[in-house]
Structure 1
Amino acid sequence: MSPRALLLYGPPGSGKDTITAALTHLNPAYQLAERLKAGPGRSHGYRMTTIESIDALTARGEILWRNDRYSSTYATDRPHLDQMLADHQIPVLHLGQPDAIPAVTTAASDISWTVVELWCPREIMIERVTARGTGDVSERIAAYDQTPPLHGPTLRVSTAAFSPDAIARWIDILVRDNNS
């Protein structure tokens, strides 16, 4: 049986953090796979590092996906995923670029990935990102507008239409069924 992981895709404000919290509450094995981050802004949910450290991991072929947004560099590294899997966790990875999906799932093809696309109406996203108080609402609106729908996710769900607990239960069923 392959190790399992979950990839939550969606624009800013689509509910990735909220759904991850609901999943963790449902089953503590679900844990956020904190990406590396070098740069300013929000630090919660990231492993803060330097661009030099990300460059070194990239040079060793240990970065599955890397992107620049909000004046920062973000990276998903294989050693962190491997440690989570060794600890019997189900990594929950947050991504917002469609090219990231095949990059990560191909580079880590030994993992059984469930891909869930989260979305919400633009006006709901604006309310959510404004409430965060991070001061980068216009950048997040631009990112929302630039985030296209995925082709063929395992599940696509509106976080404005269903409760986080209901969405978490659906995802949990999909993750378990994806590896049976």
Structure 2
Amino acid sequence: MTKALQRAGKYRLFSRLKVGSGKSEGYRMGTPEQLAELESAGDVIYQNSRYGNTYVIDRPGMDRAFEDGTPIVHLGQVEGIEALLTGYPAEWSVVLLWCGREVTAARSAGRGDRDVEARLNAWDATQADVEAHPGQVWDLSVDTSVVDPAEAAGLIDALLGGGWRPWSRAPMG
């Protein structure tokens, strides 16, 4: 879905700063010293740890992302969404992309992930987080097990174009 949106030319995936190891594609790899500098400057909007790494949404990175187009920010925590909405004023739209646990497992295995169980643990944590925040309002909710990436991208593009603002909550399982 992100790749389909990026093909439109005006959207860009926000590359979070990643402090740690492993996959680097889609991230700006950083060091603990860089993270400490951002923290001391008050430039960390949100950070979380998962898979033994720290992932950061930082103000300078977000500034650059807006210069390049409309950023797409992937977040799996409601706390992160709230931090971004309050910590970086912009006209944000919040989209819940969801699929069932079994679909997640199959997709992860199909990509050749070696940490499928860790990814399912993350799915469980995200589901619990979403359920713990019943007041969180999504501008759009898409069940990616029934909506293909191109169609999801079209729905999001329409939402951001201002012509369509539905609200629905996809089933959580």
- When normalised by structure 1's length, the TM-score is 0.83
Deviation sequence 1:125-167 (CA, Å, 0-9, x none): 0011112223111111111011133621101111110111111
Secondary structure of 1:99's counterpart equals: helix
The reply to whether residue 144 of structure 1 matches residue 157 of structure 2 is no
Structure 2 spans left out of the alignment, 5+ residues: 164-173
Deviation sequence 1:91-141 (CA, Å, 0-9, x none): 0000011100110110112x1001000110111100111122231111111
Deviation sequence 1:59-102 (CA, Å, 0-9, x none): 11111110110000000111111122223x00000001110011
Structure 1 spans left out of the alignment, 5+ residues: 1-18
What amino acid is the match of 2:74?
H
Question: Counterpart of 1:156?
Answer: 141
> 1:32-43 alignment to 2 at 5 Å?
32-43=13-24
- Indicate conservation of the 8 Å contact 1:23/1:30, yes or no: yes
Q: Distance in 1 between matches of 2:39 and 2:76?
A: 20
Q: Distance in 1 between matches of 2:26 and 2:150?
A: 20
* RMSD (CA atoms): 1.3
Question: Counterpart of 1:5?
Answer: none
The reply to whether residue 132 of structure 1 matches residue 141 of structure 2 is no
Question: Counterpart of 1:118?
Answer: 97
Question: Counterpart of 2:170?
Answer: none
Report the Cα offset of residue 176 of structure 1.
1.9
- When normalised by structure 2's length, the TM-score is 0.86
What amino acid is the match of 1:140?
R
Question: Counterpart of 1:8?
Answer: none
The reply to whether residue 70 of structure 1 matches residue 70 of structure 2 is no
- Indicate conservation of the 8 Å contact 1:40/1:72, yes or no: yes
Pick closer, same or farther for the CA change 1:132–1:41 going to 2, 3 Å: farther
Percent identical across equivalent pairs? Answer: 39
Residue 97 (structure 1) aligned to one of 64, 77, 80: 77
| Structure 1 segments (4+ residues) deviating >4 Å | none
Q: Distance in 1 between matches of 2:32 and 2:115?
A: 21
Report the Cα offset of residue 177 of structure 1.
1.0
More strand per residue: 1 or 2? 1
